[in-house]
Structure 1
């Protein structure tokens, strides 16, 4: 039986901070590996004797499995309400990444990254869908609380990875298993009440009181433009996260600790930007906020490339806050366009669009092999222009008969 529905405010229990914080904690632990992998790449490259392009392929494998396949999990989430995917995703992600340091060769390394990525992919669509039920009318604000858990997890990932490396070398990835087990068990225990709003909505569908999914129709245009704009934003994000460590270690000859701190500053400020930006977007307008973030990002990135010392830390942190501030906003925009396919909307934004941008890590790695890491960052700093053009072109708020504006 088809269990997709168009959700109205009556399906929502209102804004519930406790549920959003617990779901956000699960998001944090799931995304620890996403932050830990980039900062370990220089060590992985040295240990396995990889080129920059091959190191980029490791990152691409992570993005393909953790992101590109998310719409598939989103489809199953919408159709069958698979809440169990949340704890299973956490456990699988932590198990896969913790085994990375024990890989005997390159292909085993890719397998560990693949397993970890599938865990990440299975968690996100169901997680964002579950969070939507606890946001009430404060959609961007509520989603930002859940989303910031992932931002913090990605930001803490480099510190945990470097700490594990300092303790046991690459085998220090084992430390990622501990939070995965703890939080995975917490979500298993709490799954009953966390999934109750979804069960109530699905019960309404079973009674025939809910409208089924509508044909995509003209919604393909705002959805496509939104996917393209988020893909560009993801490419900017990946260019910074993946190549700032190489820039500081290989070009500026700084220590790995400095590189890890730079990435953490970028990601932590991104987390702050998510929380600060969402309430502003709820008031200012989602599209207007998205456009403004691209306008402001361009000069900040170029200023960072010209900066040194503490100024570089400040500007990179500001770039992170501006870039990631629109993360929850674009998810809400997609859910507004596809209110009958919340899991799919989340999977397309968090998974497919972001993962497609991550695929370019291989291309950027090839550019770095030929022209150097600095040129990669210069290309990254120019990309907000393309993101701005796409954001301006999105027809939003999108409104159909019977659908209210977000």
Structure 2
């Protein structure tokens, strides 16, 4: 693997590098395929192990805690020292945990795999966002949206891929999902030396005046509160849709997966256009508008039917998930010297 001179890396890390951003975005896509697949396969896990709804909820809680709540911990580790190895290890752990979930014959073994997958997801995200920020140059919001779209697509495709594998190969064919992680590791190895030498862009005027000000901590708290609320709503919808259509309506599992996919694809579109609107209207203003829209649209999921349900889910996904990149950029500007922690929040 050829070496890259340090001065060349410094130059490249100060410019918009779409090639590296797309690579990191693909890793984000793969990692979030596994995160998005868990709620979709949960009904099958429940039936195979005869789990109660309480134990099924414990699995989701464990997945959410390890994949989301622990992200700032990995972000803190990332800020202390270069931790590029979290990218391949995190993605691989996420894939192994989810792909092997069809094999255990006990709840305890399944829980271990769910935790392993969750830890992998938690490890990849802050390091991924931190590394991506090194290659955005002056176009931070645009570059971060490239990285974020990969995650949104992964969450959208996860249920579809998992339920597709189960539909055509059976539940025991789930280990085939590991192929995605192995493909990313192969592609990542081609750019590994370059990624490890990347440095954050530091130039005069880069640190916002609000950073370090007492008011910045209140602003950061509000950003975190928004992220938590958004995550609860998103996880709730992704969990509710498969259970409702498979368990209560006895519907086609593949159809329920399509509904979740449509919801998350709406988020992909929202991420792209939301970043543009946030740059025009302001980040804070866009957050307010999107939260109001989400509050008005979400209850319609319970009453919409037929094609209208797809329309409602697209709109809810656009309004809700579009704030993801905006909150990451806001957090990184509030914590410019703790990019890993800010990305993990």
- Does the C-alpha gap of structure 1 residues 199 and 249 become closer, same or farther in structure 2, counting only changes over 3 Å? closer
Task: Map 1:71-220 onto structure 2 (within 5 A).
Answer: 71-198=72-199, 217-220=214-217
Q: Which residue of 1 aligns with 2:293?
A: 296
CA distance in 2, matches of 1:15, 1:162: 37
Bigger CA drift: 95-104 or 339-348?
95-104
Deviations 1:110-158 (A, max 9, x none): 0111111111111111100011111222222211110110111111111
- Describe the SS at the equivalent of 2:170: helix
CA distance in 2, matches of 1:149, 1:238: 18
How far the C-alpha of 1:215 sits from its partner, in A, is 6.3
- Does residue 327 of structure 2 align to residue 327 of structure 1? no
Q: How many residues align?
A: 330
Q: Which residue of 1 aligns with 2:272?
A: 275
Q: Which residue of 1 aligns with 2:31?
A: 30
- Does residue 230 of structure 2 align to residue 233 of structure 1? yes
- Describe the SS at the equivalent of 1:101: coil
Q: Which residue of 2 aligns with 1:398?
A: none
- Does residue 341 of structure 2 align to residue 336 of structure 1? no
Q: Which residue of 2 aligns with 1:57?
A: 58
- Does residue 264 of structure 2 align to residue 263 of structure 1? no
CA distance in 1, matches of 2:289, 2:214: 29
For the 8 Å contact 1:93–1:117, the answer to whether it is kept is yes
- Describe the SS at the equivalent of 2:199: helix
- Describe the SS at the equivalent of 1:192: helix
Normalised to the residue count of structure 1, the TM-score between the two structures is 0.77
Gaps of 5+ in 1: 1-8, 205-209, 349-406
- Describe the SS at the equivalent of 1:163: helix
CA-atom RMSD in angstroms: 2.1
CA distance in 1, matches of 2:287, 2:11: 28
CA distance in 2, matches of 1:45, 1:236: 22
How far the C-alpha of 1:190 sits from its partner, in A, is 0.9
For the 8 Å contact 2:13–2:201, the answer to whether it is kept is no
CA distance in 1, matches of 2:314, 2:53: 25
CA distance in 1, matches of 2:28, 2:272: 15
Q: Which residue of 1 aligns with 2:4?
A: none
How far the C-alpha of 1:172 sits from its partner, in A, is 2.1
CA distance in 2, matches of 1:282, 1:46: 47
How far the C-alpha of 1:299 sits from its partner, in A, is 2.2
For the 8 Å contact 2:263–2:316, the answer to whether it is kept is yes
- Does residue 241 of structure 2 align to residue 244 of structure 1? yes
- Does the C-alpha gap of structure 1 residues 96 and 128 become closer, same or farther in structure 2, counting only changes over 3 Å? same
CA distance in 1, matches of 2:277, 2:215: 29
For the 8 Å contact 1:159–1:260, the answer to whether it is kept is yes
How far the C-alpha of 1:107 sits from its partner, in A, is 0.5
Bigger CA drift: 117-126 or 294-303?
294-303
Gaps of 5+ in 2: 1-9
- Describe the SS at the equivalent of 1:193: helix
How far the C-alpha of 1:297 sits from its partner, in A, is 1.6
CA distance in 2, matches of 1:175, 1:279: 37
How far the C-alpha of 1:274 sits from its partner, in A, is 0.7
Deviations 1:327-361 (A, max 9, x none): 1000001011101100000111xxxxxxxxxxxxx
CA distance in 2, matches of 1:57, 1:92: 20
CA distance in 1, matches of 2:45, 2:62: 14
Deviations 1:235-265 (A, max 9, x none): 1111100111112223333221111110011
For the 8 Å contact 2:14–2:201, the answer to whether it is kept is no
How far the C-alpha of 1:171 sits from its partner, in A, is 2.0
- Does the C-alpha gap of structure 1 residues 276 and 63 become closer, same or farther in structure 2, counting only changes over 3 Å? same
- Describe the SS at the equivalent of 1:231: helix
Normalised to the residue count of structure 2, the TM-score between the two structures is 0.90
